[in-house]
């Protein structure tokens, strides 16, 4: 074993060799030293446990190949692009909405230099960073004003902290939702310092339940859109307009956590209907919050729209500065919203809507191309076929609704599907699929770039 330890090179030796000097020029002295030390320490541990020298110390060229590989790896961003073939278009674990090209360009432009973020070019003085968004929201929805924070949970937190700290907020038991990561509405209320007042039952809540719960300490009547679950059967819920009328009777504002953030009627695209921001405003709701990266199809953000007097108070709260968005996010959000000014072009230019509305013929053609590529690269142990599939919107939007799709399925009889899934994840751009019925399903509905996918498959 002592002889094996002696075969390990010293850090100094590696640094002074021509290959080492070249790597120092490329990656810097500190990074080179750290990787060499790590590699030698791994060699020592391997000798102790296996009584063998690691393969990359067999000759000096292999050693430097391994050093270079690790240097390259540590300099690469680990949040890497993937191909989404799960059939879930807005996949939370895969980054939700794909940005529109115009949003990408707007964010890149903002990153590259200074922008008039909080500066009014016409007046030559300081302005507010949400002004551009507020003007667009006014044009698109008729809302008086808007406030932008970093996600919808933050939007709800800011609203409650601004108006309901030390007060009561009335909400139906059937709307005490939990979103991803075990994040619950009651927890947000607790953080905001307000008291949750539950009314009704899980499946049935009536207007009188709200009325009977109102006290002089009531700050809000609150509605939460249950976008990530459905209660069916013997149910009853109070409509927003009814709640607004009750709120006016007692001079209590009504707020709505809409969540998914639809700005257009999705049923016109033959998709499941979702309540829109405009509908909520039309029913008189005072403040509405929703996400920017769900059905809106843009960047991660939380948007609050409604009465200007209330929005002004949100903007003045200290939490707003904590939760605000940076210039790149705001630029991407503005560019996304501007796409809605051209509704006839929306399904073409907004990736989320384009993916959700692609025809089965288009998906079939893509699936056939993928199947041909795979057949050339997988051996006869794998059985490939085209099958009808059921995709979904994702990110808590319409969880029960399924959208027709087409998938390439891969079956195998000797238990090698796990190995193939692992191989998919080692590709330059990993392929993320789903597994059902002992088959891999490569669903075309969620594929953002078919040409890039076909190129990736060449690596198999």
Statement to judge: residues 206 and 345 lie in one domain: yes
Statement to judge: residues 328 and 364 lie in one domain: no
Statement to judge: residues 134 and 228 lie in one domain: yes
- Report yes or no: 430 and 80 within 8 Å, Cβ to Cβ: yes
Statement to judge: residues 213 and 294 lie in one domain: yes
- Report yes or no: 54 and 43 within 8 Å, Cβ to Cβ: yes
Statement to judge: residues 111 and 47 lie in one domain: no
Q: Which residues of the chain have pLDDT under 70?
A: 1, 178-183, 227-235, 395-400
Q: Is the dihedral of CA 348, 349, 354, 355 positive or negative?
A: positive
End of a domain among 318, 349, 380? 349
Statement to judge: residues 227 and 328 lie in one domain: yes
Strands (E), 281-436: 287-291, 302-306, 382-391, 403-412, 431-432, 434-436
End of a domain among 324, 349, 374? 349
Statement to judge: residues 165 and 270 lie in one domain: yes
Q: What is the CATH number of the domain that holds 381?
A: 3.90.1150.110
Tens digit of pLDDT for each residue in 277-302? 999 999 999 999 999 999 999 999 99
- Report yes or no: 255 and 162 within 8 Å, Cβ to Cβ: no
What Rg value do the Cα atoms of the chain yield, rounded? 28
pTM of the entire predicted model: 0.88
Statement to judge: residues 56 and 135 lie in one domain: no
Q: What is the pLDDT of residue 185?
A: 80
- Report yes or no: 203 and 255 within 8 Å, Cβ to Cβ: no
Which residues have a Cβ under 8 Å from the Cβ of 357 and sit 6 or more positions away? 269, 270, 271, 347
CA distance 146 to 125: 21
**Nearest Cα to 396, choosing from 213, 288, 259?**
259
Q: What is the CATH number of the domain that holds 186?
A: 3.40.640.10
Which residues have a Cβ under 8 Å from the Cβ of 391 and sit 6 or more positions away? 87, 88, 89, 402, 403, 404, 405, 443, 445, 446
Q: What is the pLDDT of residue 225?
A: 82
CA distance 33 to 12: 9
User: For 353, how many CA atoms within 13 A lie in the half-sphere containing its CB?
Assistant: 25
Statement to judge: residues 318 and 188 lie in one domain: yes
Q: What is the pLDDT of residue 229?
A: 55
Statement to judge: residues 210 and 144 lie in one domain: yes
Q: Which residue has the tokens 């790590």?
A: 38
Statement to judge: residues 342 and 405 lie in one domain: no
Q: What is the pLDDT of residue 399?
A: 61
Statement to judge: residues 263 and 279 lie in one domain: yes
Which residues have a Cβ under 8 Å from the Cβ of 225 and sit 6 or more positions away? 256, 257, 258, 259, 260, 275
Domain that residue 24 falls in: 1-75
End of a domain among 349, 364, 393? 349
Domain count of the chain? Answer: 3
Q: What is the pLDDT of residue 51?
A: 87
Q: What is the pLDDT of residue 430?
A: 96
């Amino acid at each position: 074993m002592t002889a094996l330890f002696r075969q390990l090179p010293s850090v100094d030796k590696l640094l002074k060799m021509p290959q080492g000097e070249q790597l120092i020029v490329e990656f810097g002295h500190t990074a080179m030293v750290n990787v060499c030390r790590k590699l030698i320490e791994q060699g020592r541990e391997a000798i102790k446990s296996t009584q063998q020298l690691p393969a990359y110390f067999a000759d000096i060229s292999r050693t430097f190949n391994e050093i270079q590989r690790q240097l390259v790896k540590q300099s690469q961003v680990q949040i890497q692009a993937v191909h989404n073939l799960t059939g879930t278009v807005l996949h939370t674990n895969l980054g939700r909405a794909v940005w529109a090209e115009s949003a990408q360009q707007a964010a890149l432009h903002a990153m590259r230099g200074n922008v008039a973020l909080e500066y009014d070019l016409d007046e030559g003085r300081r302005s507010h960073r949400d002004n551009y968004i507020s003007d667009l929201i006014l044009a698109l929805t008729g809302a008086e004003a808007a406030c932008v924070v970093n996600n919808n949970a933050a939007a709800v937190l800011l609203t409650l902290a601004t108006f309901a700290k030390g007060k009561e907020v009335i909400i139906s038991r059937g709307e005490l939702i939990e979103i991803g990561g075990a994040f619950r509405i009651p927890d947000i209320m607790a953080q905001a310092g307000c008291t949750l007042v539950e009314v009704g039952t899980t499946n049935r809540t009536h207007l009188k339940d709200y009325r009977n719960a109102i006290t002089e300490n009531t700050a809000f009547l609150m509605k939460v859109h249950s976008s990530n679950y459905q209660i069916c059967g013997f149910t009853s819920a109070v409509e927003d307009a009814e709640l607004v009328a009750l709120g006016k009777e007692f001079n209590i504002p009504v707020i709505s956590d809409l969540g998914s953030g639809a700005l257009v009627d999705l049923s016109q695209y033959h998709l499941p209907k979702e309540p829109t921001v405009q509908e909520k405003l039309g029913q008189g709701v005072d403040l509405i919050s929703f996400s920017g990266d769900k059905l809106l199809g843009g960047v991660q953000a939380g948007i609050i729209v409604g009465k200007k007097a209330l929005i002004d108070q949100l903007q003045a709260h200290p939490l707003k500065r904590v939760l605000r968005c940076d210039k790149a996010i705001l630029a991407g959000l503005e560019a996304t919203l501007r796409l809605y000014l051209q509704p006839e072009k929306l399904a073409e230019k907004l990736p989320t809507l384009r993916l959700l509305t692609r025809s089965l013929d288009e998906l079939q053609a893509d699936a056939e191309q993928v199947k041909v590529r795979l057949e050339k690269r997988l051996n006869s142990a794998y059985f490939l076929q085209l099958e009808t599939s059921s995709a979904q919107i994702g990110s808590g939007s319409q969880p029960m609704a399924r959208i027709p799709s087409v998938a390439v399925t891969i079956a195998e009889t000797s238990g090698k599907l796990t190995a193939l899934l692992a191989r998919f994840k080692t590709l330059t751009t990993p392929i993320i699929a789903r597994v059902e019925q002992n088959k891999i399903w490569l669903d075309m509905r969620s594929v953002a770039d078919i040409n890039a996918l076909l190129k990736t498959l060449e690596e198999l």
